[in-house]
Amino acid sequence: IREGTAAFSLSNSALARKAPTTCLFAGPSMTTEELVCPPPTPAENVVVLEDADAVGQKIREIVAEEAEKAISARGHFALAIPGGSILKMLAGDIANKEEWTSKTTLVYVNHKCVSMDDGDLATHAKARKLFLDDWEGVNAIVMGGTADGEQEANEYEDKIKALSDDVLPKTEAGLPSFDLSLIGVGDDGHVGSLYPGREEVLVDESG
C-alpha cells in the first residue's frame, strides 16, 4: 500500500465469483488465438468486439442482466467496479435502471487515497459525474478520503465486511461474493491497480 496511490484492490474478493469469467476485448483485427486470458476462462467466454463503444454497450448489457438475475434471486445486487476506462463505458443507456439501482450496492475495486471530491483523481467523483448520479438510490460504499493508505484499506475492508449477507453474500472462507465484478486491464497489463513487475503483486494475504 503506497500513500497517495491505490488504497486497495479486491483481487481476492473478485475470485469469489458465481459465474465464469467473461473477457471482453476491443479490436476488429484481433482473434481469440492472439489473446491471453488467465484461466479458468474458456475460449467461448472470450468476446472480441469492434471498438471501445461496442465493449461499453456490452458491459452495460451485462450489468443490467446480472442486476435482474440477482434481484430476482435474492432481492439485491452487489456490484464491484474499477476506475479507468470502464467508468466511461458505464456512462450510457442502460436497461431498466429505475428497477434495480435502488437495490444495488456498489463497491470500488480500486481507489486512490484522495478526497472523494477530487474530480481528477477520485474514482468515486469520476463515477458520480459520468453515471452514478443518474443511478438513483444506489448504495455506493466510499472511502474516508484521507491520504493514509493503510488506514483507508483497513476501514474500507471493514465497511465491506459489515454489509449483511442479504446485501453481499460471503463464501465459506468469509470472502465477499459479488454478483458481478468488473475488472479492467491496462495496456501495460495492470489489473485493478496491481501493476506487473511490482513487489505487491506477489502478496498473497491481506495486511
User: With the C-alpha atoms ordered 186, 189, 192, 193, is the resulting torsion angle positive or negative?
Assistant: negative
Asked if residue 60 belongs to a domain, the reply is: no
Cα–Cα dist 198/54, whole Å: 32
Asked if residue 197 belongs to a domain, the reply is: no
Strand order, beta sheet including 77-81: 139-141, 104-108, 77-81, 180-181
Asked if residue 29 belongs to a domain, the reply is: no
Asked if residue 181 belongs to a domain, the reply is: yes
Cα–Cα dist 136/98, whole Å: 7
Cα–Cα dist 187/207, whole Å: 28
The CATH number of whichever domain residue 172 belongs to comes to: 3.40.50.1360
Asked if residue 37 belongs to a domain, the reply is: no
User: pLDDT tens digits, residue range 59-103?
Assistant: 999 999 999 999 999 999 999 999 888 999 999 999 999 999 999
- 114-142: burial string, b at 16+ Cβ within 10 Å, e else: bbeeeeeebbbbbbbeebbeebeebebbb
Q: What 3-state class would DSSP assign to 79?
A: strand
Q: What 3-state class would DSSP assign to 137?
A: coil
Asked if residue 161 belongs to a domain, the reply is: yes
Asked if residue 168 belongs to a domain, the reply is: yes
User: With the C-alpha atoms ordered 125, 131, 136, 141, is the resulting torsion angle positive or negative?
Assistant: negative
Cα–Cα dist 110/151, whole Å: 15
Asked if residue 114 belongs to a domain, the reply is: yes
Count: domains in the chain: 1
User: pLDDT tens digits, residue range 136-147?
Assistant: 999 999 999 999
The whole domain housing 154 covers 11-18+75-191
What pLDDT is recorded for position 4? Answer: 33
Cα–Cα dist 66/46, whole Å: 18
104: amino acid identity, one letter: T
User: pLDDT tens digits, residue range 147-165?
Assistant: 998 999 999 999 999 999 9
User: pLDDT tens digits, residue range 176-185?
Assistant: 999 999 988 8
Query: CB within 8 A of 19, min separation 6: which ones?
Result: none
- The pLDDT-based confidence of 13 (bands split at 50, 70, 90) is very low
